[in-house]
Structure 1
Amino acid sequence: MRSSQALLRLAGGGASALVVLACTLYFFVDLLPHVAAGNFLRALHFTAECVLLGGAGVAGVLAEIRPHPWVSENFPYLTRLSGRSCLYIFLGMYVIGRRERSAWGRSFDIFVGVVCLAVATAAMVFARRLSSLPPQLQESLGREMHAASTQPQPTMEQMSTS
C-alpha cells in the first residue's frame, strides 16, 4: 500500500472519530437537556440523531483503521473507497448544517463538516485514479491490509540470515 493511501485511511479514521466525538457532544448538549426538561418527543429526535451519527462514525473507524469482518458483512459499500467517500459526503453535509443558533456549536459543526467533506473529496480523487488501474490491481485495500496483518513476521534471526 502506498503511503498516500495509508494517509488517506488515517484521515478517514480521524474524520470518523471526529464524528463520534461530535455525537458524544450532541448527547450531552442536546439530548440530555431535553430529557431533563421532559420534552420526550424532541429527545426521541436527538436519540435517533446520536444513534445514526455514532453508528456511522464507529463503522467508519472500523472500516478505515482496521477492516473488520462485521463492517464488510453488514455494510459492504464501506469496503470500497468510493463507498466510504459517499459516507463522508453525507456526514459532512449533515453535520455542517445541523445547528444555527449557538456560536461555538455552529463553529464546531462547520469544522467537523469541512473535515468530512475534505476527506470525501480526497477519497473520490483516489477512487477515480484507482479505477483506471488494471483489474488485477483493483482488489480491495481492506483485504490487503488484513492479509498483511495475519502473515507471520520474520524474526531477527531470519532477517540476519537473508
Structure 2
Amino acid sequence: MSARLKKIIAIIFLFTFAFNVFAPGNNTLVIIDNPPVEPFRRLIQAIGIVETKGDTLAYNPVEKAVGYFQIRPIRLNDYNKRTHSRLSPHDLFDYNISEKIFLYYASKIGPYDFQRIAREWNGSGKKTYQYWKEVKKNLVMLNTKRSGSTS
C-alpha cells in the first residue's frame, strides 16, 4: 500500500472521529413517572375489610354509620366543623369523599402509627384493641397477597 493511500485512509479515519465530536448532542430530558407514595393505602384497605368488607354503599342503621369507612354522624359533624365543609351523610357513599375524611384524621397522627390511627378511627375504649387485632390481621393478609407468598 502506498504512503499516499495510507495518508488518505488516516485522514478519513480522523475526520470520522472529528465529525462525531462536533455533532450536535442529544439534549433530551427523560422523566420517569413514579407512582405516588400512598402511606395509608394498605391501612385503608384493611379498615375497609373490617368495617364493610369493602362495600362503599354500606349503611348501619343502629349507628347511622355510612359508606366504606362507616363514618358516623358525630365524626362527619366534627369534620365539617374543622374543615368548614358542608357534607351530608349521603355524600359519604362516595368513596373518594369518605377516603378524604379518613385521610384528614389519619394525617393528623402520621403514617407510622397504624395501630393508633385504626384505634382512634374506631373510637375509644377497650373495644378498640379488638378492632386493631382485626385490622392488623387484614394488614398481614394484604401483605401476603402483595408479596406473592402462599404461606
TM-score (norm 1): 0.26
Larger RCO: 1 or 2 (CA < 8 Å, sep 6+): 1
Structure 1 or 2: more helix by fraction: 1
Larger radius of gyration: 2
TM-score (norm 2): 0.27
